[in-house]
Structure 1
Amino acid sequence: MYRPKSTIEQWRIFQAVVDHGGYAQAAEKLNKSQSSLNHAVAKLQQGLGVALLEVKGRKAYLTPEGEVFLQRSRKLTYGMQELELLADVLASGWEPILRIVVEASLPRQPLYQALSDFSLRSRGCRIHLMEAQPAGCQAVISKQAADMVLASQVDAGVTSLPLLSTVYVPVCAPGHVLTELDEVSALDLDAQLELVLAESKETEEGWEKAEQRWVINHLHDTLSLLRRGVGFSWLPLEAVAPLLEAKILVRLPMTNQALRKRFSHLVLPHSSPPGPAASLLLTLIRQHYTKATT
């Protein structure tokens, strides 16, 4: 069975001697006797069989081996500090992990901003961010398999917060036959292949009227096919705006300027109140989605 030849305290004293330039200076900072520091470092070096410091006059200097051990030891003591802080955090009720599920076609920039702010105050809380289609989101909500879900559909009795209205526009590649029309009607769309961003088991009334349609599970795949001239699709304006500006995709001029919309809802699947980490993230999400609407 392995037994350590050193202690965390010995490494901390070794670092203090280096950082403060000598045993006397370190002893004053640590409020310890100089002899106890000398003893700790001597025992550390003896246990390792390696000279870490050499004293010249009243100053202690690192040996080449000591320079290597200094960097490694800092990681060790920092890791121990993190463990102790984590224990304090968890003891206070702070959640160690938050699971977030986002519906594939909903806007995410405000969420990313909220997560960016949260990372600075997360206190070790880990984030699991996952994507799902509407049916998958509903399954997660019903099973209470996540802490937060951003979804377009909310059942009665589920705790939710309205966030943002998302506009969907019809787009295709520049060379598509639909771009030859000055105005595009619903009948024109019905005759063309539509790429529907959804799961195969989903039926979204009013969104799948084309005679030909492919059901695509991911936004990335939908955009990749569109860029190759395959079909057209109704997609979030936020997601396609950079591609429209770069003229990689074209927004179709609808006869009646028809727009489709979905509303983003923040759903809290659990019946119990959110913990302190979740409450902080909720506040940040609300702030950034509010900014996105103004």
Structure 2
Amino acid sequence: MYRPKSTVEQWRIFQAVVDHGGYVQAAEALNKSQSSLNHAVAKLQQGLGVALLEVKGRKAYLTPEGEVFLRRSRKLTQGIKELELLADILASGWEPILRLVVEASLPRQPLYQALADFSARSRGCRIHLLEAQPAGCKAVVDKQAADMVFASRAFSSVPSLPLTTTVYVPVCAPSHPLAILDEVSTHELEAELELVLAEGNEPEEGWEGTEQPWVINHLHDTLSLLRRGVGFAWLPQDVVTPLIEARILTRLPVTNQTLRKRFTHLILPRTTPLGPAASLLLTLIRHHYGVPDEHRTDA
């Protein structure tokens, strides 16, 4: 069984002697006796079988081996410091993990911006960001299996916050036959292949589809197929605008068609109060979605 030949305290004393230029100065800084520091470093060197310091007069100098051990030991003591800080953070109630679920068809740029801000203040809290379809979001809410759910519908008796309204527009590849038309009627679309974001055989709830729907589970797959000239799709305007500007996709000029819209609701499935990390993230989400502070989640 392995037995350590050194202690964290010995490495801290060794670093202090180097940082302060000698045993006398380090003893004053650490409020310890010089003899105790001498003993700790001597025992450290003896245990390792390597000379780390060379004393000349009243000053201590690193040996070549000591320079190597100094760099490595700083990582060790910094790691111990971070572990102890993490223990303090968790003891204060700071969550170690936050689980977020986002409905596949919803745009999420403001969420990304909130998470970017959160990362600098996360204090070790990890983020699990998952994508799901509407039925999957409902299952997560029912099971209270996430801290936050971004869905296109709210759920009764579950706290939620309306975040934004998303406009969906019809798009296809520039090479698609529909792209050359000056106007496209809803009747003409009915005969075309439509890529529908859904799961299983479920159509988009409340949206009339075409006679030839392909059900696609992920937005990434939908965009990949569209780029290859496969069908058309109704997608979030914020998502496709850069692709339209880059002429990767084309917006279809559909006549007599009201805009399709979908709301983004932030659902808080858990019955327990938000912890400090979740509360911070919620504040950042409100900020980046432009939700006024006076808007609170509904009980």
CA contact (8 A) 2:201 2:215 kept: no
TM-score, length-scaled by structure 2: 0.93
2:220 match:
220
Deviates more, 1:192-201 or 1:226-235: 192-201
User: 2:147 is matched by which residue type in structure 1?
Assistant: D
User: 1:177 is matched by which residue type in structure 2?
Assistant: P
TM-score, length-scaled by structure 1: 0.95
Q: Is 2:282 aligned against 1:282?
A: yes
CA distance in 1 between partners of 2:185 and 2:21 (Å): 79
User: What is the deviation of 1:40?
Assistant: 0.9
Runs (5+) with no aligned partner, structure 1 = none
1:123 match:
123
String of CA shifts for 1:101-130, please: whole Å, max 9, x gaps.
111121211111111221222222111111
CA distance in 2 between partners of 1:58 and 1:112 (Å): 56
CA distance in 1 between partners of 2:215 and 2:196 (Å): 5
User: What is the deviation of 1:208?
Assistant: 4.9
CA contact (8 A) 1:166 1:263 kept: yes
2:175 match:
175
Deviates more, 1:77-86 or 1:260-269: 77-86
CA contact (8 A) 1:149 1:266 kept: yes
User: What is the deviation of 1:24?
Assistant: 2.0
Paired residue secondary structure (2:130): strand
1:41 match:
41
CA distance in 1 between partners of 2:5 and 2:208 (Å): 69
Runs (5+) with no aligned partner, structure 2 = 293-299
Q: Is 2:154 aligned against 1:154?
A: yes
Divergent runs of 4+, >4 A: none
2:83 match:
83
1:210 match:
210
Q: Is 2:143 aligned against 1:143?
A: yes
User: 2:225 is matched by which residue type in structure 1?
Assistant: L
- Identity among equivalent positions (%) equals 80
CA distance in 2 between partners of 1:182 and 1:157 (Å): 47
Q: Is 2:199 aligned against 1:185?
A: no
1:200 match:
200
User: What is the deviation of 1:258?
Assistant: 3.0
String of CA shifts for 1:11-47, please: whole Å, max 9, x gaps.
1111112222222222222122222111111111111
* Aligned-pair Cα RMSD in Å: 1.6
In the alignment of these two chains, the number of paired residues is 292
2:297 match:
none
Paired residue secondary structure (2:157): coil
String of CA shifts for 1:136-184, please: whole Å, max 9, x gaps.
1111111110011011122211111000111111111001111121011
CA distance in 1 between partners of 2:291 and 2:109 (Å): 11
1:29 match:
29
CA distance in 1 between partners of 2:238 and 2:214 (Å): 22
User: What is the deviation of 1:203?
Assistant: 3.0
User: 2:268 is matched by which residue type in structure 1?
Assistant: L
Q: Is 2:236 aligned against 1:236?
A: yes
User: What is the deviation of 1:257?
Assistant: 5.2
CA distance in 2 between partners of 1:201 and 1:2 (Å): 59
**Cα 1:63–1:228 shift into 2, 3 Å:** same
CA distance in 2 between partners of 1:184 and 1:76 (Å): 66
CA distance in 2 between partners of 1:205 and 1:186 (Å): 18
String of CA shifts for 1:240-271, please: whole Å, max 9, x gaps.
12111111111111213532111000001011
Paired residue secondary structure (1:255): coil
